[in-house]
Amino acid sequence: MLTRALLVICALALPARAQPVKLVALAPLATLDAEDTSAPIKQLTAQLEAAVGTVGMRVIPASTVAEAIKKAKKPQLRACEGDPACIAELGKLVGAQLVIAGQVGGLGESRIVYLSATDVDTAKELRSTTLALSKQEDAMVATAAVVRLLDPARHRGTLHFAIDVTGTTVYVNGARQRLDAKGELSFDVGTQAIRVTHPEYRDFVRFIDVGFGKTTDVAVGMTQYPIVRRDVQGNPINRDQPVYLDPPFYRRWYVVGGGALLLGVVTAVIVSNLVNDLPKTPCRIVGTSDPC
């Protein structure tokens, strides 16, 4: 028991064994299945090799890979055309765990580089990405491509919100977010749908592009509603008092009532006169000559 306890204590005292650093081979970038040795591609290759170190991995340069292919007399490995099995064989040739391979497409200044990361053991493509070549290559573009291939969890950027009112709620891609003390949020690279809401203001809606390793400022200017809810509840806008107006003379009750009474009297007089003017016919009992 004592010996076992000592072994446990010694094991705890020993420093943790570090994870082995992965070797990443960069295959020579090719155009039409032939190695591209143009100046822009050489510059991009150097930037990609330097970027591998930023994710904590060791790189086998493209020149070393090309020399290994030459010595092994396997020219078919120069034109894998994105085939994972061929790329995996290339990685085994140089002792790498991962291989970054790429094809250059397009013409002139409008050229696109298609990059992929392949696992050597499983001979399966893990991820792929593209980048556009320009006259003045930005090293950050190459770094972003490598990070996306080898460590996608770090392929993120930051949004900094400057909101001109308090009490707002921020939604990104429909999910509610909580800003940090600096008013910032971290998101995956790409276009994000932003919506800022407040019960007394119109919604602020924008589509914002998040760049790798960059902080993008989002200036949020809220527009207040003409009538907000608190005004309707606590401060009625219409404070008018009812005003009673006298009706015209001919519509007043005593005029209307008097007119009706006068009309009744006149009608009674006319009827009485008509009755008096009827002829006086003697009344006789039917069938006899006796008066009524």
The domain that contains 168 carries what CATH number? 2.60.40.1120
138 and 203 both lie in a single domain? no
The reported pTM is: 0.65
Q: Are residues 140 and 34 in the same domain?
A: yes
Extract the tokens encoding 135: 């006259």
Nearest to 145 by CA among 203, 205, 212: 212
Residue 271 domain-assigned (yes or no)? no
Question: How far apart are the C-alpha atoms of 89 and 63, rounded to whole Å?
Answer: 17
Do residues 145 and 25 share a domain? yes
The answer to whether residues 224 and 106 belong to one domain is no
In the block, which residue shows the tokens 């009992």? 285
Q: How many domains does the chain have?
A: 2
Asked if 123 and 177 sit in the same domain, the reply is: no
8 in a structural domain: no
Q: How many C-beta atoms lie closer than 10 Å to residue 87's C-beta?
A: 26
| Residue 51: domain span | 21-154
Cα–Cα distance measured from residue 171 to residue 167, given in angstroms and rounded to the nearest whole number: 13
Same domain for 211 and 107? no
What's the confidence (pLDDT) of residue 263? 67
Q: What angle do CA 183, 189, 195 make, to 5 degrees?
A: 50
- List the chain residues with pLDDT less than 50: 1-3, 5-18
Q: Are residues 103 and 224 in the same domain?
A: no
Instruction: Give every CB contact of residue 77 below 8 A, 6+ residues apart in sequence.
Output: 69, 86, 89, 90, 93
Q: What is the pLDDT of residue 12?
A: 45
86 and 40 within one domain: yes
In a domain, 279, yes or no: no
